[in-house]
Structures are given as structure tokens and as C-alpha cells.
């Protein structure tokens, strides 16, 4: 190892005076910044059209308060899944319910219903049937997003297929258009 040709530098070790000088400098910057403040905001409302208050947001309709148009015989109808969102753009949420009969055996078909309530917050009621249980399909995946209802439907290609094992898979999407729900196939969906 070669010895250093320069003597030890005097400033390589901190001393209390160095810390005191640093603390004083930081305190000075903080004190100076408290005196320098931005000017007051001068934003004003632009003259424009007449303003209206926003409509009161109602709670989504509760499926428990509705009698669904599904024939179940001696068993009762059961809400399997539910989701809420504004489907028709009126600012109030609708509830979409997936309902089937509470069958002790087999896979009962599902019905998909749209519930709403009047603008005065009245009783919930069924306003649309998106999927009729008479179609014999079940819903495996279900969502309400961006004003649309999407679902993955499972069905049967013939009456010979056991009701435990659906062999037809399809995706469906319903959107409110011109006063009615219109069914389509989502982009990228495949049917098997």
C-alpha cells in the first residue's frame, strides 16, 4: 500500500459547528418560505345557462321487495346474483337480478330481470325480462358495467344433454337503446 502524499484533510470529519450551520440554513429557508405565499385565487363562475340542482340519488331497488314473473310451483324463487347501475341514463340506479327456482335437484334455469322504482322512490318493480327461464339457460358470470349488462350463459344443444352438464356457452350483452333493452354479443366473445 502506498502512503498518501497529502496530509489529512481538515474538513473530512463533521463537527458540531457544521451541524449547527446546516440547521440554521434549513431554518432560514423554512422561515423565508412562510413569508412568500402565492397570491389569492381569483376564479369566478362564468355566466352560462340556468343551473339546476342534481337529482336526488335513490338507493338501488331491493330484489327482496319484488315478486318475480317466474313459475316455481311449490318452491320459492331465489335471487342468485344481483348488481346495480344506471342502465338508462336517468341518474338513478336500476338493479339487475339473476333469479331461479329453489330446486332441490338439478340445475334450474335462470331468469334475468331489471328492477327500477319511480322517480318518487316508490316500490321496486320488474320493468324488463332480459333472459326468460323458459329458454332453459343458466347464468355463470354476470356484471353491470358502463350502462350495460353482460352475462355468460350456459345452455344445452338438445334435450338429450343431461341437465347437469351444459354444452353450449355464449356471452350476451344488453344495453338500453331507444326505450328498450337490446341484446348483442360482446366484442371478442365466442360461442361454443
Q: Where are the domains of the chain?
A: 63-184
What tens digit of pLDDT does each residue of 98-141 get?
Answer: 999 998 887 889 999 999 986 666 889 999 999 999 999 999 99
pLDDT tens sequence across 156-182? 999 898 878 889 999 999 999 988 999
What DSSP assignment string belongs to 135-188? Answer: G--EEEEEEEETTEEEEEEEE-SSTTS-TTS--EEEEEEEEEETTEEEEEPPTT
Indicate if the pLDDT at residue 77 is higher than 90. Answer: yes
Q: What is the pLDDT of residue 24?
A: 94
Give the distance from CA 96 to its chain's centroid: 13
Instruction: Read off the pLDDT band of 188 (50, 70, 90).
Output: low
pTM of the model: 0.67
| Rounded Cα distance, 112 and 91, in Å | 22
- Maximal C-alpha separation, the chain: 103
C-alpha to C-alpha distance for 113 and 125, rounded to whole angstroms: 10
Amino acid at each position: 500500500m502506498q502512503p498518501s502524499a497529502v496530509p489529512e484533510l481538515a474538513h473530512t470529519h463533521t463537527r458540531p459547528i457544521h451541524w449547527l450551520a446546516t440547521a440554521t440554513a434549513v431554518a432560514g429557508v423554512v422561515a423565508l418560505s412562510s413569508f412568500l405565499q402565492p397570491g389569492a385565487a381569483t376564479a369566478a363562475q362564468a355566466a352560462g345557462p340556468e343551473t339546476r340542482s342534481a337529482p336526488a340519488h335513490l338507493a338501488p331497488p331491493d330484489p327482496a321487495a319484488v315478486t318475480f314473473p317466474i313459475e316455481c310451483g311449490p318452491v320459492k324463487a331465489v335471487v342468485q346474483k344481483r348488481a346495480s347501475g344506471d342502465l338508462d341514463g336517468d341518474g338513478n340506479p336500476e338493479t339487475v337480478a339473476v333469479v331461479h327456482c329453489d330446486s332441490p335437484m338439478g340445475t334450474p334455469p335462470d331468469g334475468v330481470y331489471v328492477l327500477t322504482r319511480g322517480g318518487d322512490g316508490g316500490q321496486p318493480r320488474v320493468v324488463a325480462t332480459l333472459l326468460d327461464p323458459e329458454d332453459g339457460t343458466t347464468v355463470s358470470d354476470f356484471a353491470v358495467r358502463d350502462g350495460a349488462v353482460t352475462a355468460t350463459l350456459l345452455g344445452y344443444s338438445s334435450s338429450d344433454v343431461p341437465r347437469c352438464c351444459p354444452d353450449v356457452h355464449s356471452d350476451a350483452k344488453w344495453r338500453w337503446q331507444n326505450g328498450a333493452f337490446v341484446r348483442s354479443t360482446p366484442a371478442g366473445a365466442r360461442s361454443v
